[in-house]
Amino acid sequence: QEEAQAIDQELFTEYKFSVDQLMELAGLSCATAIAKAYPPSSFTTSQPAVLVVCGPGNNGGDGLVCARHLKMFGYQPTVHYPKRPSKPLFEGLTTQCEKMDIPFLPEFPTEAAFIDELYGLVVDAIFGFSFKGAVREPFGSILGTLERITVPIASIDIPSGWDVEKGKADGLQPDMLISLTAPKKAAMHFAGRYHFLGGRFVPPALQEKYALNLPPYPDTDCVLQLT
Amino acid sequence: SHLPQAFPLPSLPRKAPTVLVVCGPAQNGAIGLVCARHLRIFDYEPTIFYPKRSPDPLYRDFTTQCEKMDIPFLSYLPTEVQLINDAYNAVVDAVLGAEAEVAEGREPCAAILATLKHIRIPIVSLDVPSGWDMESGSTGGISPDVLVSLAAPKECARRFLGRQHFVAGRFLPYDVQKKFELNPPEYPGTECVVAL
């Protein structure tokens, strides 16, 4: 976890990347990976409906970017964003989604069955690699419901609720994991079908410094399928 | 990502995948900086010529990102065109965009464009071939091999005679497309570039 935070810090302070830049590239990777694993034609719902659940931090921001690109790729995303930071970055991302007619659910569906009915996929953008400690409401209940759905879940960076290094055996079991920048230790416990790497922005010098040993991305793709 | 489509790495004539990215003082130049950084990630060897740097903090950060990624910045552009022809496989023209009108007559853009007119390696222009009049095109200006129109083709793109025309910048919401009657082509799958 500290290494991931150290890399992030260096990208912002030494390389002068803005959070906006990296979040945009990260969110785009997530949407691209999803489109590769779950193309619109593969949905059994009448429209390729996707529910994107966004948490209170940067992982939620990644989710908002992802939702917007999913819309551009022909999906019908719906966002649930119960706790919104009052920062221009997140307000801007929310507006971009709203102006693209992406609906925002005021309430999270109370029954897992409702989610299974309405959506072909759920994107888990609740907690990321900075997550520590106890899960606060409303996310505890949300995760409880998500643990009972049968449609696939695609988690951004870390399955929400998992310990960033050790995982969580009785927690969320996503079908897809999109590791951003590099896989975190928790990824070793990932048992789903699709593991993608995204966030193709790490300068070669940083990759070397932290001995990331990332396999090469295919030509100009912004995602790499690991499994 | 249009460059690898037009000039895939294995096809490049020079031994090293070198590309010269010439950046003007405004937004078009900043887009060039971002392009150079991604070219580096894609394993090309970009070099940047950015004589008149914008004071905009966002663009200054783009410059830092390139510098920290060991992308060299030339201190001057050789007027001897053979030096450019020999050192690089292609030139990315990010000098002037659609917003420039009077700027083209001013230094250093005028001198840069005069040099670029005579090079023999392919030029890839970002959005608008630099120095072309936005609407009517240009006689006697640079002749790019590849044009990458950003968001939607500009009026002068009709006069483009080069090998490949791409549209890139897949971010226009549908209502903006409709409002301005843009009719951009359909992007395939998750691609962010489409060949016209």
List pLDDT tens digits, range A74-98.
999 999 999 999 999 999 999 999 9
Residue A6 forms part of a structural domain: no
Query: How sure is the predictor about B101, in pLDDT bands with cuts at 50, 70 and 90?
Result: low
pLDDT digits (tens, 9 = 90+) for A52-81: 999 999 999 999 999 999 999 999 999 999
Residue A165, pLDDT score: 86
* DSSP label at residue A40: G
Q: Which residues of A touch B58 (CB under 8 A)?
A: 18
Q: Is the residue at A101 inside a domain?
A: yes
Over the stretch A147-184, which tens digit does the pLDDT of each residue have? 999 999 999 999 999 998 888 888 999 999 999 999 99
B65 reaches A (C-beta below 8 A): yes
Question: Which of A16, A31, A204 minimises the CB distance to B65?
Answer: A16
Q: Which residues pair with A79 in a beta bridge?
A: A52, A104
Q: Which residue has the higher pLDDT, A126 or B7?
A: A126
Assigned token pair, A176: 């897809």
- DSSP 8-state class, residue B185: P
Pick the CATH number of B2-195 from 3.40.50.10260, 3.90.950.10, 3.40.50.720, 3.40.640.10: 3.40.50.10260
Is A13 a member of any domain? Answer: no
Q: For residue range A2-47, list pLDDT tens digits in order.
A: 788 899 999 999 999 999 999 999 999 999 999 999 999 999 988 9
Q: How far is A45 from chain B (nearest CA, A)?
A: 20
Mean pLDDT, chain B, rounded, equals 87
Angstrom distances, CA of residue A115 to CA of A49, A147, A150, B90, B186 = 10, 12, 9, 51, 31
When scoring A7, A11, A16 by the number of chain B Cβ atoms within 10 A, the one with the most, hence best to mutate, is A16
Number of cross-chain residue pairs from A and B with Cβ atoms under 8 Å apart: 49
- Reported ipTM: the value is 0.90
Query: Among A36, A26, A34, which Cα is nearest to A60's?
Result: A26
Q: How far apart are the C-alpha atoms of B9 and B44, rounded to whole Å?
A: 8
Tell me, what's the pLDDT at A129? 86
Residues 38 through 57 of chain B touching chain A, CB cutoff 8 Å? 40-42
Q: Does A171 map to a domain? A: yes
pLDDT at B56: 94
Counting residues of chain A whose pLDDT is more than 70, the rounded percentage is 100
Which of B40, B69, B173 is closest, CB to CB, to A100? Answer: B173
Q: Is a pLDDT exceeding 80 seen at residue B136? A: no
**For residue B3, pLDDT beyond 90:** no
pLDDT of residue B152: 87
Q: From residue A93, give the alpha-carbon distance in Å to each of A85, A88, B103, B122.
A: 11, 8, 34, 38
Q: Is the pLDDT of residue B103 over 60?
A: no
pLDDT reading at B13 higher than 70 = no
pLDDT, position A29: 97
A88: helix, strand or coil: helix
Check if B58 contacts A (Cβ < 8 Å): yes
| Paired tokens of B186 | 């359909």
pLDDT for res A162: 93
> Can you tell me the mean pLDDT for A194-207?
95
State how many domains chain A has: 1
For residue A212, list its beta bridge partners. Answer: none
Angle at A202 between CA B70 and CA A173, to 5 degrees: 175
Mean pLDDT of all residues in B167-178? 88
User: What is the percent of chain A with per-residue pLDDT over 90, rounded to a whole number?
Assistant: 88
Neighbouring CB atoms inside 10 A of A2's CB total 8
Cβ distance A14 to B68 less than 8 Å, yes or no, reads yes
* pLDDT number for residue A164: 87
Residue B25 clears pLDDT 70, i.e. is over it: yes
- Which CATH number fits the domain that encloses residue A155? 3.40.50.10260
Q: Domain range for residue A105?
A: 18-39+47-225
Taking a C-beta distance cutoff of 8 angstroms, is the pair A23, A58 a contact? yes
Residue B77, CA atoms < 13 Å, CB-side half-sphere: 26
Q: What is the pLDDT of residue B31?
A: 95
* Residue A7 belongs to some domain of the structure: no
B1 touches chain A (CB under 8 A): yes
Residues B57-74, mean pLDDT to the nearest whole number = 96
CB B187, CB B170: distance < 8 Å: yes
The pLDDT, as a whole number, for residue A113 is: 97
Q: Is the dihedral of CA B93, B28, A222, B40 positive or negative?
A: positive
Query: Is residue A201 situated within a structural domain?
Result: yes
Mean pLDDT in residue range B29-57:
94
Q: How far apart are CA B130 and CA B152, in angstroms?
A: 17
A141 within domain boundaries:
yes
Full strand arrangement of the beta sheet holding A194-198:
A76-80, A49-54, A121-125, A153-156, A176-180, A194-198, A223-225
Does residue A55 lie in a domain region?
yes
- Give the rounded distance of the alpha carbon of A156 from its chain centre: 2
Distance from CA of B83 to the nearest CA of A (A): 28
Nearest CA in chain B to A32: B190
Higher local confidence (pLDDT), B131 or A43: A43
Indicate the pLDDT class of residue B102, thresholds 50, 70 and 90. low
Our CA-based measurement puts residue B191 at a distance from the nearest CA of chain A, in whole angstroms, of 9
pLDDT at B5: 67
Q: Which of A186-190, A219-223, B22-26, B155-159 shows the lowest mean pLDDT across its residues?
A: B155-159
pTM of the model: 0.92
